[in-house]
Every structure is written in structure tokens, then in C-alpha cells.
Amino acid sequence: MKQMNKTKQVILGMLLVMTTGLQAQNGFFDNISEEDQYHGYLEMSESENGFFKAKSRNAVVKFKIDYLPTGEGYKLEATVDEGTDIGKTYFSIDASGKGNSCVGYPYESVLSKKQGQLSYISIDNYVFFVEGLSKDKTSFKSLLEVYIKVGSKSEKEKTKNKKKPKKKNSFMAKMKALKNQAKAAAGNFGPEYKEFETKNIREMITNYLVAMKAKQEGRTAKQKQSDNNVANIEVVRKAARDAERAEAKRYNDSVMATPEWKDLERRKKQNEANYQSRQKVDVVTLRNTSGSTIYVARSGSKNRGTKISAGGSASWSCGQDAYIQVNGTTTNTKVYSSNSGCGDTVTVR
């Protein structure tokens, strides 16, 4: 009887661990850090059943995620964050792009491209790039690349490497940096990668995919709407733009309905009316009723005068005499006397 109770306790404990692990799983976009650096490791090979090794190490990158106005992540971009190519896009994948997909929100587990042939999966400190995802999205054929969060170590590794801090830029620190570079060139990729090698990655990814699929199948109708939001991304964006414009109009209308705004508009109109009134007093309109273009200028002016086309008219300063100008020379023929027609139209022949 005691043995049976003990067995039940073990089973319950295992169920508790499994349930806790299931609840702790993050969706693809929620798990990726936009603050930390990730180091890329390429040319992966499965050294044992489930354990992987990398042949080379590539760029240090930072991830950036774009979100829909409704909150769903849909685009992942990696930019180089170290070296001469810093800031350069390393790769970019958009769930709304042709042949791409990401479903299962808020428990989305994979971001796929090429009709699911290639997929990104994010678990803990890793972003995996896999090939041959199964149709039910619970297993994969091979691991092509892994991006490991820089500085991510197990507690054991952190304790082991906890040493007295050294002065920056010291000779020993520089020598250590050179030594680490040499190690990387020789295939010794550092503690984060070393820890990665100790994990059964195939088991990790498979367990994650299975757990997330169970969550996806238990979603509510409201949660499933997120898949439609990503599939109809342009509709969602347009709805967001329309909502922003409607909100802006509502706000503007509420402001324009206030007494302060109405008084401001009244004063603006009054200022414009006063300006136009002053302009009318200060200006006379000269109308050319002759059959040819003429020029008028002030007395003695050597600059080219105001052009008035045949049958046309032009504004002239009311307080200035106007004389006919011929071939750039102002004549003594006066066509308007100062202050004689302010605000009126005067015919010039």
C-alpha cells in the first residue's frame, strides 16, 4: 500500500513538472530578447542522437521584432551588432510575406518560410533555424543554425567562472581577449556554446513543439483571431490607420467646439479682414486697355518696371507716381499720380 502511494506521488510529481513546463513555454516572439546580443553558429551536425555541434561561428546579431497594432509579432529582423558590418541586416523574415507563415498565437511556436521547409524556433536562450519541419509542426529533420544569447550561462557555469574583477584595458585583459579570439578560430566557441553542446537539442525542440501544439489546440475563439490578424495584415493596418484618423478627427472636433477656439478663429478672420482693408487702401489697380504690353515704373527708375499685358492689370503702390517705361528707360509720360486712386482701378492707355 505504501509502495502504491509512493508511485502515485512520483506520477503526480511528474505531471506537476510537465504542467509547469508547459505553462512556462513562451510564444516565439515573446521569448526573443531585443536587448541582448546573440552569436550565430553554423554548419551544424548531429554528433549523437539529439546532440549537435557547430563547425563555425558567425556574426554577433541583435534581433528586432515588428508588431501589428493588434499586438501580434509578425516580423523578425537580425542586424549585425559587432565588427565592420555593424548595423547591416543579417536576415529578415515577415510572417505576412509570400510563402511565410506563423500561426498559433499567442502560443506561436515557429516562424516559417518557403512553405514551411525552413523555420525559426525560439526556446530559452536559443533561436534555432531548422529544416524539414513536420506537417503537424511537432518534429524537424535537421538543425542548420543556432543563435545563442551572449552571456547566457548556467548557474553552475556562472559560479565556476566567478572571479575577482580585473581592471579594464589591462595587459592581461588584452591578452585574454586575443586568446579567446584564437580559441574561436580553432573551434573553441566559449561557455555559452559549451553549455549548448551538453543539451539534447532534438529532445528540447521536440518537447517544446509538442507542448505548444497542445496549447494551440486549446485556444479560445478570441485567441484564434490573432492568426487571422496576421493573415490579413493589410486589413488590420488599414483598420488601425482609419481608427487613428477617426480619433484625430474626434479630438480636433472637440477642440474646435470650445469657446477658446471659436474666439481664436474670430480674431484670425478679423485680422485677415483688417489686412485686406489696408491692402485696398495702399494699392491701386492699373488696367492696360491698349493692344500691347506696357511697363510702368517710378520716376527716374533704371530697373525694369512692372509688366502689364494687353488687356491685363497689375497692382501698384497707391502713394507712388507711375510712368511709362520703353526699352528699359523710364519716360516722362505719367499714367498715375500718387494718392489719386487708392483702392480703385485706373485705366492706362
| Averaged confidence pLDDT in the chain | 83
Model pLDDT, residue 88: 95
Q: What angle do CA 200, 204, 209 make, to 5 degrees?
A: 150
SS3 129: strand
Confidence band for 32, pLDDT divided at 50, 70 and 90: very high
Model pLDDT, residue 14: 45
Examine the pLDDT at 166 and tell me if it is beyond 60.
no
| pLDDT, tens digit (0-9, with 9 covering 90-100), for 59-117 | 899 999 999 888 999 999 999 999 899 999 999 999 988 889 998 999 999 999 988 89
Q: Which DSSP letter does residue 311 get?
A: T
Q: Are strands 73-80 and 51-67 parallel, antiparallel or unpaired?
A: antiparallel
Cα separation, 147 vs 102, whole angstroms: 19
| pLDDT, tens digit (0-9, with 9 covering 90-100), for 104-150 | 999 999 999 988 899 999 999 999 999 999 999 999 999 999 999 99
Cα separation, 60 vs 37, whole angstroms: 6
What is the torsional sign of CA 190, 195, 197, 202? negative
- Looking at per-residue pLDDT, the higher value among 335 and 272 belongs to 335
Model pLDDT, residue 238: 66
Q: Are 74 and 95 in contact (CB under 8 A)?
A: yes
Task: Quote the pTM value.
Answer: 0.58
Q: Compute, in degrees rounded to 10, the torsion defined by CA atoms 346, 329, 311, 344.
A: -20
Q: What is the mean pLDDT of residues 160-170?
A: 50
**Number of Cβ atoms within 10 Å of the Cβ of 203:** 12
Examine the pLDDT at 188 and tell me if it is beyond 90.
no
Cα separation, 317 vs 341, whole angstroms: 10
| pLDDT, tens digit (0-9, with 9 covering 90-100), for 249-262 | 888 888 888 989 88
| pLDDT, tens digit (0-9, with 9 covering 90-100), for 217-243 | 999 999 999 998 888 876 666 666 777
Cα separation, 33 vs 209, whole angstroms: 20
- Side-chain-facing half-sphere of 10: CA atoms under 13 Å: 6
Model pLDDT, residue 324: 93
Q: State the cell numbers at 1.
A: 500500500
Spell out where the chain has E strands: 37-48, 51-67, 73-80, 89-94, 111-113, 118-123, 126-131, 142-149, 283-288, 294-297, 306-308, 313-317, 322-326, 329-336, 345-348
Cα separation, 40 vs 145, whole angstroms: 7
Sheet harboring 313-317: ordered strands across? Answer: 313-317, 283-288, 345-348
